[in-house]
Amino acid sequence: MKQIKIHDKSFGISISSESIQDRVSIIAQQLNKEYAEDTPLFIVVLNGAFVFAADLFKRLTIECEISFVKISSYQGMESTGILNELIGLSENIHCRKIVIIEDIIDSGNTIEKMINELIKEKPAEVKVATMLFKPEAFKKTYSIDYIGFEIPNDFVVGYGLDYDGLGRNLPDIYKTI
Ligand code: IMP
Ligand code: MG
């Protein structure tokens, strides 16, 4: 198994780049179908989701817009639960169809905060597309509309996800071993 070291931790491959790309294509097809008659606004949660967003966006054939926001609840390997405000959204989202693009949904704190901030502006709807979802860690009742892969409660890096700043550039997804 391909192994890498980041800071003090060893990681082994969890999801290959090929599997990720196949899955992204399927999600793009679903979005192209669902939003064929609309001009949705994709809201990308920085930093981690930028890689997934770029791969997904290139495969969208519908008319659509994209915007990037920042919100953070994570430091190192454990969710701190500390949440910052939503920054960077300049578009008027009133009556718009919104799709939030996330890298990973863990406890669900970040996505819940995002949704709560967005619905204040009365969009037509808010859906969520995430590359990774940890069902065992998820503490919310909100349903996630598009999921790349459900994964166990491991800490993962790569494909936009970092461990204390490193690993975002890896094309595959790795987990701690
Ligand atoms: P949540 O608020 O607990 O759902 O955490 C969401 C955020 O924590 C994600 O957007 C990531 O930035 C970060 N995160 C959660 N799990 C991992 C992981 O396994 N590796 C790297 N970052 C993670
Ligand atoms: Mg994130």
pLDDT of residue 72: 56
Model pLDDT, residue 17: 98
Between the CA of 36 and the centroid of ligand 1 the distance, in Å, is: 31
Instruction: Please check the confidence at residue 145 and state whether its pLDDT lies above 90.
Output: yes
Ligand nearest to the CA of 47: 2
Q: Check pocket membership of 176 for ligand 1, CB cut-off 6 A.
A: no
The residues placing their C-beta within 5 Å of ligand 2, an ion, are 48, 103
What is the mean predicted confidence (pLDDT) over 105-118? 92
* % of the chain beyond a pLDDT of 70: 92
Catalytic-labelled residue, pool 8, 55, 103, 106: 106
pLDDT of residue 176: 96
State the average pLDDT over residues 79-104.
84
- Which pTM value belongs to this model? 0.93
**Burial annotation 47-79 (CB, 10 A radius, 16+ → b, else e):** bbbbbbbebbbeebeeebebebbebebbeeeee
C-beta of residue 79 within 8 angstroms of C-beta of residue 115 = no
pLDDT digits (tens, 9 = 90+) for 42-85: 999 999 999 999 999 999 999 999 999 987 554 555 555 554 57
The question of whether 106 is a catalytic residue gets the answer: yes
Give pLDDT, residue 159: 98
Nearest to 142 by CA among 128, 153, 154, 162: 128
Q: Report the nearest atom of ligand 1 relative to the CA of 134.
A: 16
Q: How far is CA 115 from CA 27, 38, 48, 103, in A?
A: 21, 20, 18, 15
Would you place residue 86 in the very low, low, confident or very high pLDDT band (cuts 50, 70, 90)? confident
Mean pLDDT, the chain, as a whole number?
93
Per-residue confidence band for 132, with pLDDT thresholds at 50, 70 and 90: very high
Greater confidence (71 vs 107) lies with 107
| Per-residue pLDDT at 113 | 87
